Amino acid sequence: MKNVFKRAAKGAHLPHNKNTQNISTVDLPVPEKILLPMQQHIGAPAVPVVKKGDQVYVGTLIGRAEGYVSAPIHSGVSGTVTDIRELQISSGARVPAVEITSDGKQTVDPQIAPPKVNDYESFTTAIRNSGLVGLGGAGFPTAVKLTMKDLSIIDTLIINGAECEPYITADNREFIENPQDIIDGILAVKKWLGIKSVIIGIERNKPEAIDTMFALSKGDPSITVKPLPSVYPQGAEKVLIENCTGREVPRGGLPSDVGCIVMNVSSVSFVAKYLRTGMPLVSRRLTVDGAVGEPRNLNVIVGTPIQNLLDFCGGLKGEIGEIVTGGPMMGVSVVDTSFPILKQNNAVLVFSRAEAKLPPVGECIHCGRCIETCPIGLSPVIIAKAYNAHNLTELNNLMVDLCMECGSCSYVCPAKRPVTETMRLAKAMLRKGAKK
C-alpha cells in the first residue's frame, strides 16, 4: 500500500544538554567482576561456551552466536568463570548470563590476531566474529546488516553521527578522539562492499566533529560530510536517510530498498580497530551525566556493573528519581544498579526526583501538535481513536506500524498524554490481529 502521508521529518526541538561534549574519555578501572548476558543484541541470544571454573582472557569467546540474527559475546577481563545463571533483562525475558571474576592482569587471549580479509565473504565473517552490534543503541548485529545477496543495489553508505538524544556525547567524542579510525572503517566497508559514495551525517551542534571530518575527507570526492539540523530524532534511520539522500524507505522496507546502508559512527570506527588488532567488542565508550558528582565520558568494559560507573563519577547527588541507560527519549529505566553495561548502552543518565516526576495528564485538546511533529508523518491522535475502538482496519490504513516510538509526540503534547505508549499499544494490537 502506498504511503498516503508525506514524511516531513520534522521531529521535536529538544534541549541538547551536551554537558560532556568537551570532556575527554577516560578508562573506567577494571571491575572485580563482570556479568555478560547472552542477549546483548537484536535476535537470538548467544549460547554460553564456557562453564564454571574455566579460565578466560581478554577477548575469549564466551557466547556463540545462535542463529543468523545473533552476535557472539567475548570477555573483557582475564580471570575465572565463577557463575552461569539466569538474568532478567529489560524486555522481561530471562537469559543465561556468565559471571567472570577478574584476576586483575588483563591478559589478552593468545588467539587474538587481526583477521585475514581478502574478499567480501571474509570481511563479513570477520565482522560477525567480532561481536559488533549497532553501538548507537539499537544493538542490531552489524554482520547481518552488511550481508546481502545483491551488493549492486547498494550505492550509498550513510554514517550516523547525529547523536540526537539530549546529554549523550559518546559519538561526538569518537569523532574528536578517533577520527582516523572512522575514515579507515569507512574505507574498509566501502571497499569490501563496493559502495560508491559515503555521506557522514552530523548534527550542527557538533562543529568540531564536522570540521574534523571535513578536513580528513577533503581529498576523497566519494565522501560527503553533511551537517544536519539539530532536531530530534535526526539519528533515526529512516529520517537520516531522507535528510541525507532525499530517499524514502517504503513501508515495511529496509534501507537497502533505497540503495543505502546506515552505520553508527562508533560502529564503523570499531571496524577499523578490529581489522587492525583482532580484539573483539569487549568495551565501549558511553556518557554518564545528570545528577552525579562529575559527569564524564568513560570507556567501560562490557559487563561492568552500572554502580561502578556511578561511583567513579562521584556518586549520586540529591534525591534520585530515575536512572536510565540510553537517552531520556528512548532509554531504558534501571531498576538495579548491579545490572551490567551492555554493548548497546551509550549512556547512563541519572535524573532527580523532581526531573523524573511525571506531570498530570489532561484531556486531548485536538491541537494537532503530535501530527505536526511526527517525523514519519503519522497522526497519533487519530490512531488513538482507532486503538480505543479496536479498529484494526483503520490502524492498518493509518500505518501505525511505521511508528518508531521516538517519543516526539509525547514530548510536544500540551496535555502531557502518554501518546507514545498508546502508539506502542496500537502497534501491538495490529501485530496481534495480523497473526489471527
Mean pLDDT across 380-393: 96
Residue 92 pLDDT: 85
pLDDT tens, residue by residue, 132-142: 999 988 899 99
Residue 91 pLDDT: 82
What CATH number is given for 31-110 in this structure? 2.40.50
Mean pLDDT across 76-99: 94
Mean pLDDT across 308-332: 96
Mean pLDDT across 281-304: 98
Percent of the chain at pLDDT > 70 equals 98
Residue 26 pLDDT: 98
Residue 6 pLDDT: 47
Q: What pTM, to 2 d.p., does this model score?
A: 0.94
Judge whether residue 361 has pLDDT over 50: yes
Output the CA–CA distances (angstroms, integers) from residue 355 to 171, 328, 334, 350, in the order listed.
25, 11, 16, 10
Residue 1 pLDDT: 31
Q: Quick check: 349 and 141 in contact, CB under 8 A? A: no
pLDDT tens, residue by residue, 38-71: 999 999 999 999 999 999 999 999 999 988 999 9
Mean pLDDT across 396-421: 96
Beta bridge partners of 228: 203
Residue 433 pLDDT: 87
In the chain, domain spans? 31-110, 120-277, 282-357, 369-435
Percent of the chain at pLDDT > 90 equals 92
Which has the closest alpha carbon to 280: 71, 121, 102? 71
Q: Which CATH architecture has domain 282-357?
A: Roll (3.10)
Judge whether residue 349 has pLDDT over 90: yes
CA distance 387 to 113: 54
**pLDDT category, 436, cuts 50, 70, 90?**
low
Residue 424 pLDDT: 96
3-state secondary structure of 266: helix
Residue 4 pLDDT: 38
Residue 23: exposed, middle, or buried by beta-carbon count in 10 A (0-12, 13-18, 19+)? middle
Q: Which CATH architecture has domain 120-277?
A: 3-Layer(aba) Sandwich (3.40)
